[in-house]
Amino acid sequence: MVVDQTGTPRLPFFFGDADSPLFGCYDHPPDGPTRDRAVVLCYPMGQEYIRTHRSFVQLATRLARAGFPVLRFDYFGSGDSAGDAEDATLARWLADVHSAMDEAKRRSGRRRVSLVGLRLGAALAALAASERDDVDSLVLWAPLLQGRSYLRELRALQAELLRFAYVRPEPGTERHAADEILGFVLPDPLREEIEALDLLASSACPAREVLILDHDTSRFAALEQTLAAAGAHVESRSVPDPAIWLAEPFRGLVPHRTLTCIVEWLSRPS
Amino acid sequence: MRESAVLFGSTRSLVGIVTEPAAEVARPDAPAVLILNSGLIHRVGPKRLHVRLARRLAGVGFTCMRIDLSGIGDSRSGSSIDAIHERWCSEAREAMRLLREHHGARRFLVAGNCSGAALSYFVALAEPDVVAAALINPPNPRPLRYYLRLALKHPAFWRRLVRRDQWSHRVQKARQRLARLNADTGRPSATARNPLEELRSLIERGVHLLVVNCEWDASYDQFQVAHREQLRALGNGRIHLESIPGSDHDFNLVSGQERLLDVVQRWAASL
């Protein structure tokens, strides 16, 4: 690992199955880890991933400066990881989150992890955390609650794109264009899995401490209740930042208040 | 095919992904491909196009490297006091050095979309080992004819015009354009350059150019309409012009993405 001029070492690497490796980026605290946990960041999918990458880099840098070893990673068929988007499934992505957590523990030498996920990444983080007992804390940033409404939202965005963007599907391909999501294919198996996703239906406790973050957390009251009933200590914070997953990358938006809130919450004494 | 993540540059603070072809398809004589960022999008490219392009080209024997320039993606902000244009040109040179030292590259093909196309062009001008450049939707001022074409041929033009929530966006974009006019990026301004002479020097050097324009991008009017014949005559077979029908600047349709990958692969394979 090489320390650069900013003093925060960053290591890009591939890990996992040699036939279909995942890309990860590991940020290491400049003076060595001072925390007892590693943090794994879970991106959203598709165009939301492209739009939010810059903010995740910033978040990783800030967490590393606060003493956390941090791993960001790309799901199979997305970003720099192996595979094509056509072959992606939610089951595979869930396995990828587990694989990333194991990798973060191995690299950092820590036995516990915290997870931070945005949108679909938040749902994946919650599901993965429910399946293991080494997740201390979980940050659900604008999580999707029910896959069905998430898909409805994506379809509306695609319809808007077809109406307002300077594109013109070739004759005979209009149906395919309507099924895409902002320039990304959404294969049927993944679509069906997302449709069946329901965070409110889970009775498992994903982590001892859960933070729900959004510009308006009042819409997550049901999730708060579900998690509390499962035994988690849940905190909700409304942060008036823009929805960066809707803003194109050229705008370079980074939600500083949200990132500060995440770093402070994870850094507080447990 | 094999992919590896690398740190490069004088302080090893820049991030790149090298995609190497499988031994059975490798073409040691082929130029190594360097793919530059498109705007602020990290090295995966718009709609992950750079990843797919690198894998496609590696599938037919090219070694490819996708990089994050300083301040973009996973690369750190540069500490150099050079203007951003000079800094990025020098970072592209650093990537070429890595490809030379670790992958035996002697010649290069540089490729980029939007601002990446502009940078590819300047790198091709400055680096004698660059033998080909793929310029996808090169940025250029939007001519009046572009707006006329949109108004006459695309209903989205009128839909956007009457959409109230677009106005604040337009004001913001106009502000950004003004700020860009005032910012000194160090990129040679169009008025201080002689593009015809630049192109002539590239052609005389034997550089092959591919210019790809999406049908609904403003660069289409400049390259495919206004200067098409002039470029063909000047290029003497070395300037290849292609367009992507139905697509916008951001490749928002998957069909347009596939067509772009086909076009670049076919052209690269023919070099």
Q: Quick one: pLDDT at residue A203?
A: 85
Number of H helices, E strands in chain B: 10, 8
A142-150 average pLDDT score: 95
Q: What is the mean pLDDT of chain A?
A: 93
In degrees rounded to 5, what are phi and psi of residue A182? 50, 50
Q: Quick one: pLDDT at residue B140?
A: 83
Contacts across the A-B interface (CB distance below 8 Å):
125
Q: Name the minimum distance, in Å, from the CA of A78 to any CA of chain B.
A: 8
Q: Quick one: pLDDT at residue A3?
A: 42
- Alpha carbons A48 and A244: distance in angstroms, whole number: 8
Residue B157 CB burial class (10 angstroms; 0-12, 13-18, ≥19): middle
- Between these two residues, A64 and B160, which has the higher pLDDT value? A64
A132-150 average pLDDT score: 96
In degrees, rounded to 5, the angle at the alpha carbon of residue A40 between the alpha carbons of residues A68 and B8 is 75
- Is B41 part of the contact surface with chain A (CB cutoff 8 Å)? yes
Q: Which of residues 177-216 of A touch B (CB under 8 A)?
A: 177, 180, 182-185
State whether B51 and A79 contact (CB < 8 Å). Answer: yes
- Closest CB to B150: pick one of A166, A176, A248: A166
Contacts of A161 in chain B (CB under 8 A): 252
State whether B40 and A13 contact (CB < 8 Å). Answer: no
CA-nearest residue of chain B to A165?
B156
B7-26 average pLDDT score: 95
Range of the domain at A112: 10-145+199-267
- Is A168 part of the contact surface with chain B (CB cutoff 8 Å)? yes
Confidence class for position A4, pLDDT limits 50, 70, 90: very low
Residue B102 near residue B114 (C-beta atoms within 8 A): no
Structure tokens at B224: 């495919």
- Closest CB to B159: pick one of A85, A164, A169: A164
Find the helix packing angle between B195-204 and B115-126, rounded to 10°. Answer: 60
Contacts of A184 in chain B (CB under 8 A): 47-48, 254
The answer to whether residue B186 is domain-embedded is no
- Alpha carbons B202 and B209: distance in angstroms, whole number: 9
Residue given tokens 């990446």 in the structure block: B116
- Closest CB to A80: pick one of B51, B160, B216: B51
- Between these two residues, A24 and B227, which has the higher pLDDT value? A24
Question: Within 13 A of B203's CA, how many CA atoms are on the CB side?
Answer: 17
Pick from B115, B125, B144, B121: nearest CA to B133: B121
B50-70 average pLDDT score: 98
Range of the domain at B89: 2-141+194-270
The answer to whether residue B65 is domain-embedded is yes
- Is B87 part of the contact surface with chain A (CB cutoff 8 Å)? no
Q: Containing H/E element for A211?
A: strand A209-214
Q: Containing H/E element for A114?
A: strand A112-118
Pick from B271, B234, B223: nearest CA to B117: B223
Q: Quick one: pLDDT at residue B84?
A: 83
Q: Quick one: pLDDT at residue B176?
A: 74
The answer to whether residue B159 is domain-embedded is no
- Closest CB to A6: pick one of B46, B76, B253: B76
ipTM reported for the complex, 2 dp: 0.94
Does A161 have pLDDT greater than 50? yes
Lowest mean pLDDT among A146-160, A211-225, B124-138, B162-176: B162-176
Torsion angle defined by CA atoms of residues B236, B238, B242 and B248, in that order, rounded to the nearest 10 degrees = -120
The answer to whether residue A22 is domain-embedded is yes
Residue B160 near residue A164 (C-beta atoms within 8 A): yes
The enclosing domain of B108 has a CATH number of: 3.40.50.1820
Contacts of A47 in chain B (CB under 8 A): 47
Residues of chain B above pLDDT 90, percent: 75
State whether A177 and B5 contact (CB < 8 Å). Answer: no
- Is B132 part of the contact surface with chain A (CB cutoff 8 Å)? no
Q: pLDDT tens-digit profile of A7-21?
A: 568 999 999 999 999
Q: Name the minimum distance, in Å, from the CA of B132 to any CA of chain A.
A: 25
The answer to whether residue B183 is domain-embedded is no
Listed in sequence order, the DSSP H helices in B73-165 are 84-103, 115-126, 144-153, 155-161
- pTM of model > 0.90: yes
Q: Which of residues 233-262 of A touch B (CB under 8 A)?
A: 248-250, 252
Contacts of A14 in chain B (CB under 8 A): 3-5
C-alpha of B82 from chain center: 22
| Number of domains present in the structure of chain A | 1
Contacts of A10 in chain B (CB under 8 A): 13, 15, 74, 76
- Closest CB to B7: pick one of A2, A166, A177: A2
The answer to whether residue B188 is domain-embedded is no
Single-letter code of the amino acid located at B126: A
Residue B25 near residue B233 (C-beta atoms within 8 A): no
- Between these two residues, A31 and A213, which has the higher pLDDT value? A213
Q: pLDDT tens-digit profile of B212-225?
A: 999 999 999 989 98
The enclosing domain of A71 has a CATH number of: 3.40.50.1820
Q: Name the minimum distance, in Å, from the CA of A225 to any CA of chain B.
A: 36
The answer to whether residue B181 is domain-embedded is no
| Number of domains present in the structure of chain B | 1
Q: Name the minimum distance, in Å, from the CA of A147 to any CA of chain B.
A: 22
Q: Containing H/E element for A27?
A: strand A22-27
Does B229 have pLDDT greater than 60? yes
Residue A161 near residue A167 (C-beta atoms within 8 A): yes
Strands (E), chain B: 2-8, 14-20, 32-35, 64-67, 108-113, 130-136, 208-214, 239-244
State whether A10 and B39 contact (CB < 8 Å). Answer: no
The answer to whether residue B165 is domain-embedded is no
Residue A102 CB burial class (10 angstroms; 0-12, 13-18, ≥19): middle
The answer to whether residue B156 is domain-embedded is no
